[in-house]
Amino acid sequence: YEVWGLCTSMVVQDDAGQVWHGRNLDFGLFPAFDFKHLEWTMTEALRPLVTNVDVQKGGKTLYKSTSYAGFAGVITGLKKGGFSISVDSRFDNKFDIGLIKWLLGDHKYQELTFTVRKTFEDPSITNYDQAFNFLNTTTMIGPSYIIIGGMNSGEGAVITKEQVTIDVMSLADEIQKGSFFVLETNYDNWKPAPFFDDRRNPAKECLNQLTAKGINGFTGLYNVLSAKPNLNKLTTYTTLMNVKTGAFEAYRQHCEGICSFW
């Protein structure tokens, strides 16, 4: 996941102070395209493998995750009463040097998806603040966006990493500015989205039209994430999470008709 992926993640607070977390997982850009069906070959292969996992210990649920069958890391997950996490790819100009060093035996930095898994499985990490602090201070092998949601009002953030954290956009700060959400695709939030892949501004427009009062929990999030271009030819699934109630839903997604290729 340090190499390539395209996604949308959002943490939204409604007018009652409830925090909702939604994400699209877009994956499969290259190496092959099915020109007959106008589909990315890898994306077609991944959709049937989408599964929800209930990770248990001693008969009790530790956390829930949406994943691909056979994948051991965590890219989307929820710990009821604690926190929710999704990760989005980030691109830089360092040509994956951290990953190359890791493959050559330099393991002092951490792989993203296994670090997220550790966050859910570490018994000392039980709430939003602990999860945020752990992820914020861990040095990764490559760039990423880590989107985290919590149970209480204002608990939400986008952590932007090279290998270390270079920026945090918090839900509490955005609420102070008059917004009610944090949103991340695959580009730094302080820079304009590129013209060839602007999923950020359409998603923002949809959320602002809904308003905090009209988000209506999973319904609003699902509608935003199912609207083009956030729903595109690379989208494999949508997951919706609420930390307070433990509600967790995921849907295989397929963009029918005329759709963006990413």
Catalytic residue numbers, as ranges: 7
Using CA atoms in the order 18, 24, 25, 26, what is the torsion angle rounded to 10 degrees? -160
Note the Cα 160 to chain centre separation in Å. 12
| Cα→Cα distances 120→28, 68, 84, 109, 244, Å | 26, 18, 9, 19, 16
Note the Cα 173 to chain centre separation in Å. 20
For residue 206, give the 3-state DSSP assignment: helix
Q: Tokens in use for 172?
A: 């509490």
- Can you tell me the distance from the alpha carbon of 139 to that of 244, in angstroms, rounded to the nearest whole number? 29
User: Across the strands, what pairs with 9?
Assistant: 23, 184
For residue 217, give the 3-state DSSP assignment: coil
Q: State the distance between the two ends of the chain, measured CA to CA, in whole angstroms.
A: 16
